[in-house]
Structure 1
Amino acid sequence: MSLAYALLVSLIHEPKSGYDLAKQFDGSVGFFWQATHQQIYRELTKLEQQDLISAQAIAQESRPDKKIFSVTDLGLANLKTWLLQSSDLAPVKDEFLVKIYAGYLISHEAIVKSIQTHRQLHQRQLATYREIEQQFFSGFPQCHAQSTGEFKLLFAYLTLRRGITFEQGWLDWCDEAIGLLQNAAHSDLGDT
């Protein structure tokens, strides 16, 4: 996926400034799509040149004008076409897994400690997602069908649920890996 579509998706909900988009990428969208502020501003310029978004200048006192970006009809049509296209599996580029793959080169204690530390990172991320779920979606699955206005929220909820199951999967894997390594150490299999 290109950053362009992530920006169009972010802007479709409401017009935003580049600064507001960058802040959003530091939060909600940033949980599943990373971009620097420089990348965001560069992509906004391209989208505007392609007439997929338009910018309205808002005068500010003692500051340069602020640009508020919104999706054009052409941008919406482009976004809808993209939404209908199938998505490939995202390639995995995970430094930690490369380290695990070569984990036999270091002691059991060191690799177990590394996995425990990694587990804590995923536990913290899961806690963040659970807080978001509690704050914004408490009781949501049970009541979302009652209001058509909440239909849009269902998609944000589904995205959040994917994050929760992703982090839970990591915790499960870490627990399994630690158990296997500890059993291997006790049975003297593969000691280094």
Structure 2
Amino acid sequence: MSLSHAVLTSLLEKATSGYDLARRFDKSIGYFWHATHQQIYRELARMEAAGWIESSSAPDAGKTRKREYRVLPAGRAELIRWAHEPSPPMDLRDEFMVKLRADAALREVDLRPEIRRQIERHQEKLAHYRTIEERDFLHGGALTREARIQHMILKKGILYEEVSIAWAQEMLDVLA
């Protein structure tokens, strides 16, 4: 996946300024596709040059150069084309797994403090995801198709964090 497809998706959800897009990115798509604000601005310029998006002066720009971006038909067509491509399997590259193999080979490395830190990080993220779920999806009303899809994405994150915590706790027992 390229950053452009993540940006197109976010802009289709809501036309916005580059700054607001980068902030939204940090709070939603950024959970599974990270990009710096600089990368997002560079991508916006590239996509505008390609004719996928256009920008205009934001209504609240005042005397600033604030621009609001929206997706053009060519950008929509590109996103549809990309969405129909088969996704490759997730490539798991985890430095910590190599450290565990080193521990197994060396027998003199204590990775328990690192595992405890990982458990804390996963618990924090899990608590954050559950807060989002409670706020946005468990209010009892009927959810739209869009909201149900977003909820399922969030559920995958919740399950990932739960499994990561369980695995790390089991690994602590192995390393004891």
Q: Is the TM-score greater than 0.5?
A: yes
Question: Which runs of structure 2 are paired with 1:54-133 in the superposition (5 Å)?
Answer: 54-58=54-58, 60-61=61-62, 63-104=63-104, 105=106, 107=108, 110-133=110-133
Structure whose alpha-carbon radius of gyration is higher:
1
C-alpha distance in 2 between matches for 1:74 and 1:4: 13
In the TM superposition, residue 98 of structure 1 has moved relative to its aligned partner by 2.2
- CA RMSD after TM alignment: 1.8
* CA deviations over 1:52-73 (Å, ceiling 9, x no partner): 1111123633x42211001111
The runs of at least 4 consecutive aligned structure 1 residues that moved more than 6 Å come to: none
* CA deviations over 1:71-109 (Å, ceiling 9, x no partner): 11111111111111110012223222222221233647x
In the TM superposition, residue 117 of structure 1 has moved relative to its aligned partner by 1.6
Question: Which runs of structure 2 are paired with 1:1-192 in the superposition (5 Å)?
Answer: 1-58=1-58, 60-61=61-62, 63-104=63-104, 105=106, 107=108, 110-139=110-139, 143-144=142-143, 150-182=144-176
C-alpha distance in 2 between matches for 1:13 and 1:117: 35
Question: What letter corresponds to residue 146 of structure 2 in structure 1?
Answer: K
C-alpha distance in 2 between matches for 1:115 and 1:75: 43
Identity %: 36
Aligned length: 174
The TM-score with structure 2 as length reference comes to 0.91
Runs of at least 5 residues in structure 2 that lack an aligned partner in the other structure: none
In the TM superposition, residue 13 of structure 1 has moved relative to its aligned partner by 0.8
In the TM superposition, residue 158 of structure 1 has moved relative to its aligned partner by 1.2
In the TM superposition, residue 22 of structure 1 has moved relative to its aligned partner by 0.7
* CA deviations over 1:117-152 (Å, ceiling 9, x no partner): 211111111111011001111156x843xxxxx111
C-alpha distance in 2 between matches for 1:2 and 1:106: 41
Question: What letter corresponds to residue 44 of structure 1 in structure 2?
Answer: L
C-alpha distance in 1 between matches for 2:114 and 2:58: 50
